A and B are shown apart, each in its own frame.
Chain A
Amino acid sequence: MSKILFFGGKGGVGKTSCSSAFAYARASEGHKVLLISTDPAHSVSDLFERKIGSDIVQLKPNLYATEINPEEESEKYFSKIRSSIRKVYSVVIIEEINKQLDAAKLSPGTNESALFDRMVEIINETSEDYDFIVFDTAPTGHTLRLLTLPQLLSSWVDVLLSKRRKTMQYKEMLTGDRTLVKNDEIIEILMKRKKNLTKAREILIDSGKLGFVFVLNAEKLAIDETIKATRTLKDNNIPIAAYVVNRLLPEEVTSDFWTHKKQDEAKYLAFIEREFKGTTIYKIPLLSTDMKEAQIEEIARSFMDE
């Protein structure tokens, strides 16, 4: 099975529970696992009933976790930019640039971009250290964007690099200064970004370590979305590692209401098994209690007998 797994699915199907239980299962088998939450609600902290935060912490033997906080990450990025301004300009100009940065901070794409940057950073830094990296992510569309971004960004960086190089070469010819290309900060910044993106792409896409896990419930809307998203992932050449059908009703139901529900569920489950034939399908029972650490252990068992 692939090494870097993204758990995705429609909102509310139980992504956090399933990804945590999956990570727990692999960890108890003796693999070293890193569980990363990108969910702004940070349900992993709630689930394990302890504050996790943006540093990697150990939850159990072999099980590590971290939560990405996009606001914190973008703040880090902006303060890095601010410190590089101080090296270059006078106070008046700094004021002007800060205004521009503050405006950018409010732009709708900022948090997502910061999240993506941090994900790339974690993948680049830790992929050697863990047997499994499990991302508990936000709803499907968001994840798709995150996974297709390296492609888009690398070509953007490539074009910028070639344009900047040409610009500086012309400037060298015009001024006679032969050190411009070599000492250009912009080229340096772009090269660094290119290096990170290339590395992330190699790890994620070329090495075949990436896999997507769909969490869904045995009901119409969740199935519809999963089918659509499966198609999009296949179009983008992202392999699907498994499907997890969560919250299955118990076998013995008594009242008419639940019998009816159970019949519907069986129908949808059969449909799921037909539709996604050939891929691992995990079936997770509905629990009578809230998800806490003890319940994760219970669910983890469903991920163990493959």
Chain B
Amino acid sequence: MGFLNNIKLFFEGALDFNSRATSKLELAYEEEMEEFMILAFSDIIGIDMPTTYYALEMYPYLYSEIGAWQKMSVNRKSVWEDKFSKMDMDP
């Protein structure tokens, strides 16, 4: 069974024309990144935490990523819309 399953997975990956695997990875990457940002730099979006000071030393290294995250948070019209649009609704 394991062997058959591997073959199935191989073809699924090889024939992945919509590059669903990559977009799933991208989605996972974005989500982890966003959670990291919220935990580390929530003061930027107005939530003050006792950890704010300690996150500052990471700031220079994450400057561009923080900028992108901030823009994303501001432009987002609705959290639900954002989440649903990222989901793969194809069967």
Contact = CB atoms under 8 A, between A and B. Distances in A.
B41 to A, nearest CB: 10
Interface of B is mostly: helix
A84 B39 CA distance: 22
8 contacts: A81-B60, A97-B63, A101-B59, A149-B50, A163-B35, A167-B32, A174-B25, A190-B58
A107 B52 contact: yes
- Dominant secondary structure at the A interface: helix
Interface in A166-217: 166-167, 170-171, 173-174, 185-186, 189-190, 193
A1 interface: no
B36 interface: yes
Interface string B21-47: 010011011001101100110010000
B60 A163 contact: no
A54 interface: no
A81 B56 contact: yes
Top 9 closest A-B pairs, CB basis? A113-B53, A170-B29, A85-B60, A163-B36, A167-B32, A166-B32, A185-B61, A167-B33, A156-B51
B29 A110 contact: no
Contact of A109 (B25, B35, B50): B50
Contacts of B40: 160
| Contact size range, A | 35 or more
A152 B49 CA distance: 11
Nearest to A87: B60
Contacts of A173: 25
A95 to B, nearest CB: 12
